[in-house]
Chain A
């Protein structure tokens, strides 16, 4: 099976080489965790490293900030557009859900750049245009299937409200069952500072690294760091250092073995 590499080498390793081709990937996270940057990096690397052109769909009111922010990270989206390798499409969510005589709003941009990748920022916006919560699932299902039939590997962004906390759900509308892969980005508090964690929660049809990895947003985009092997409870949002063998021995020495045995 062909893999669709993100170009973030450590993430690709976690994914066993990359996302599966034509899979629907959901990137979930609370505000400020780097979801948009991950989406842009996936597309920009697709163009510059793998010859796979892409489309970024945004529902923001003034998306020109995306061009600016991407350029600050080293991705010149306007140049990619001039070269017909990329399109930034800005529209309303309900228009994206409509088809007209079998024609979809994205057909033309897809054709213009021969797109292989697409990012939807964000699928959460669809919720604003449907009457019932369960309709989000139906609309998302149709949209994701449309991308698959067009041969696109999609990455959809989903905003989760939680910044910290020990209970969370990826989506409360059942999207987790629709998508093939889920990447969760999360803020965690460690030793009184806010750090960012990434975990691949699900990958249909492929093994993947289940460990949490710390990541940073650098001037070149997302960079993954080490696992949180010294901590427990990271996903709860408030991690605590786990007791290593060495620490246990030191503790035993300090308090005396008998003290520890009493506990």
Chain B
């Protein structure tokens, strides 16, 4: 099941998370894509095409986002699909919002 992997990993600490999320333009594009289209389920090349890149260009960043628990990968038939977790989306927004509030407030 696609949900098997979800909810089992905790997000890293706020600052560390933000640093890694913003460490490349591709990651920002991926986050933006999945935030706007949380129901996107596709292969690496399909995801890449949607942000105007190739699978090779996004592979390392996808791996990092999977490692962070933001994106998920699952073997499905002949393919490996990438997808997003809506609950994670809300968590990330909260983390970023908290951090920004503190930065601005401090």
Which A residues fall within an 8 A CB radius of B? Answer: 61-64, 81, 87-92, 95, 98-100, 103, 105, 107-109
Partner of B42, one of A62, A90, A99, A107: A90
Closest chain A residue to B49, Cβ basis: A61
Besides A64-B37, A103-B76, 12 other A-B contacts (C-beta < 8 A)? A63-B39, A81-B38, A88-B39, A89-B39, A90-B40, A90-B42, A91-B40, A91-B46, A92-B42, A95-B76, A100-B75, A105-B76
Contact code string B72-106 (vs A, CB < 8 Å = 1, else 0): 00011111010000100000000000000000000
A108-B1 contact, Cβ under 8 Å, with A81-B86, A99-B77: yes
Interface residues on B, range: 20 to 34
Q: Which 10 A-B pairs have the closest CB atoms?
A: A98-B77, A64-B36, A100-B77, A108-B2, A89-B39, A88-B39, A90-B40, A91-B41, A92-B46, A100-B76
Neighbouring A residues of B43 by C-beta, 8 Å: 92, 95
B3 at the interface (CB under 8 A from A): yes
**Minimum distance in angstroms from A100 CB to a CB of chain B:** 4
Establish whether residues A61 and B76, one from each chain, have CB atoms under 8 Å apart when the complex forms. no
Q: Report the Cα distance A62→B52, complex, angstroms.
A: 11
Partner of A103, one of B1, B39, B42, B46: B1
Q: Report the Cα distance A74→B56, complex, angstroms.
A: 40
Closest chain B residue to A87, Cβ basis: B39
Establish whether residues B76 and A62, one from each chain, have CB atoms under 8 Å apart when the complex forms. no
B53 at the interface (CB under 8 A from A): no
